[in-house]
Amino acid sequence: MRGFLRRAFTEHILLKLLSLGLAMVLFLIVRAEKDAVATGYVMVEYKYDATRWVLTSSPPRQLRISVRGTWSKVNRFDDRDLKPIKINVEATKKELVAFTPDMIRLPHGLRVVAISPPTAEIKVDRLVERKVPLTPRVVGEVAKGYSLQGRAVTAPATVLLRGPKGVLDRLTRSGLSLSPVDVTNAEGTVVRKVDVVSSLPEHVKALTSLKVIVRQDVVALSGRRTLPDVAVELYGVKWSGYTPLLEFPSVTVALKGPRPVLDRIDPKLLRLVLDFTKESKRMPLPPASMTKEAKASDVKGLPTGAVVQFVRPKKIPVKFVRKEPPSP
């Protein structure tokens, strides 16, 4: 048995090696000529005037392809060597483009057997610029006695955008929203710098700042208040030998003005001052009685914004009594 195996491997060794080599060559030739399939990708370029038009659809930027050919050619296939497919886009309409094998330049001996996706919808729109209005938003409650005056205004009132005409036409009608302005407990005009919070659509960009100033006027509500015991004082009485006597030591004063201002008035700090300076200069002696007409300007101690509506009584009698000489 051992001798048989030795002869099987050693006898006619050159012929056996030659036969093995011929068999290997034949195997490789047959295999190289057998069909095979490979996959790869090819880029797609869409040609249009980007200064005037914008691609608003989302066609594929690359295609997945399957190629068939002999094993030897498929084995050497490299999709990085493929030139991009160039599609000329018509700027006036929406079109459906079909990708066909003749658009792809393959090495000799290979052919395209599948393309994915096979079609693409292409649509372009004209590039325009539009001034889009801004929509401010106010939240919160102002302080008691105050109210909002008119609507909030922005500076600037619009932002300049560039993008597809159809999209900007819609934005021009709807406007862009801003961050809210809080006026909680405000007692005067509120001014804030805020951002545009509306997301800009695809293909749209801002040509001016998206930060704007918002102003909301806050004013005090008008009100009325009646003070029944405002003290009356005399000023400029120069008649040293006489004592003035008031028939009404206090009066009622009706006021109007901003509610917060009226609410803060302390009646004890108000005075109705009757001025006798002119009478004292003109007359060496006072009359037995005199009536002074109380005017709004005679009410002293009023804060800014408060206005006198009337004083009751309007006419105030004053008597002048001679002082008794001191006892010896």
Q: Encode pLDDT of 36-91 as tens digits.
A: 899 999 999 999 998 999 999 999 999 999 999 988 888 889 999 999 999 998 87
CB 59 within 8 A of CB 121: yes
Burial class of residue 280 in the structure, from the number of CB atoms within 10 Å of its CB (0-12 exposed, 13-18 middle, 19+ buried): middle
Question: Mean of the per-residue pLDDT values for the chain?
Answer: 89
CB 38 within 8 A of CB 113: no
pLDDT, position 95: 87
Q: 169: which DSSP letter?
A: H
Q: 40: which strand partners?
A: 65
pLDDT, position 32: 47
Q: Where are the alpha helices (DSSP H) in the chain?
A: 2-10, 13-32, 71-75, 165-174, 259-263, 277-282
- As a residue count, the chain comes to 328
Nearest one of 192, 191, 195 to 159, comparing CA atoms: 195
pLDDT, position 311: 96
Q: Encode pLDDT of 274-297 as tens digits.
A: 999 999 999 999 999 999 999 999
Nearest one of 24, 66, 322 to 16, comparing CA atoms: 24
CB 132 within 8 A of CB 161: yes
Using CA atoms, how far residue 240 sits from 30, 50, 237, in Å, is: 143, 98, 8
Output 35 or 83, whichever has higher pLDDT.
83
Domains and CATH numbers, the chain: 31-122 (2.170.120.30), 126-220 (2.170.120.40), 222-322 (2.170.120.30)
Binning pLDDT at 50, 70 and 90, where does residue 30 land? very low
Neighbouring CB atoms inside 10 A of 63's CB total 22
Helix (H) / strand (E) containing 99: none
With a cut of 80, say whether residue 202 has pLDDT above it.
Answer: yes
For the whole model, what pTM was predicted? 0.65
CB 214 within 8 A of CB 139: no
